[in-house]
């Protein structure tokens, strides 16, 4: 999407759901979009005036399935980044802490293993 156009819509009172290609597009490999970058993403831009924050309803993660050759690769692309996206959706920016997230992530990774899900790093 064109970021400037989206912000113009927000400033005109339109609701949006944010999805920044360089942070939450899950079909990109981890060397391009590492877990830390996904976690650090904030759907509310720093320079957006507070009165417009209400129009950013949340965020979404995208995955272009035609770029992912098989289910094993799909799982690796999605997890654990989708967990980082979820936490970003419900955690205010000032309370986010990547080191704390990494510690808590271990329990999620164990659950993924129990489910037979191949996750990435």
How many Cβ atoms are within 10 Å of 76's Cβ, its own excluded?
20
Q: Quote the pLDDT of residue 1.
A: 65
Residue 69 tokens, joined: 């050759």
pLDDT tens column, 44-75: 999 999 999 999 999 999 999 998 999 999 99
- Whether residue 71 has a cis bond before it, omega within 30° of 0: no
pTM exceeds 0.85, yes or no: yes
Q: Quote the pLDDT of residue 121.
A: 77
pLDDT tens column, 6-48: 999 999 999 999 999 999 999 999 999 999 999 999 999 999 9
Cα gap 42→99, rounded to integer Å: 17
Residue in this structure with the two tokens 């996206």, named with its chain if needed: 85
Confidence of residue 3 (pLDDT cuts 50, 70, 90): confident
Cα gap 82→59, rounded to integer Å: 11
């Amino acid at each position: 999407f064109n970021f400037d156009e989206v912000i113009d819509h927000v400033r005109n009172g339109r609701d949006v759901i944010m999805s920044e290609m360089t942070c939450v597009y899950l079909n990109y490999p981890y060397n391009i979009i590492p877990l830390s970058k996904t976690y650090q993403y904030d759907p509310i831009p720093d320079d957006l005036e507070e009165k417009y924050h209400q129009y950013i309803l949340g965020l979404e993660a995208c995955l272009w399935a035609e770029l992912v050759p098989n289910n094993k690769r799909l799982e690796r692309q999605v997890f654990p980044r989708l967990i980082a996206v979820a936490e970003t959706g419900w955690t205010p920016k000032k309370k986010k802490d990547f080191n704390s997230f990494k510690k808590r992530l271990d329990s999620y990774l164990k659950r993924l293993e129990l489910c037979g899900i191949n996750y990435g790093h």
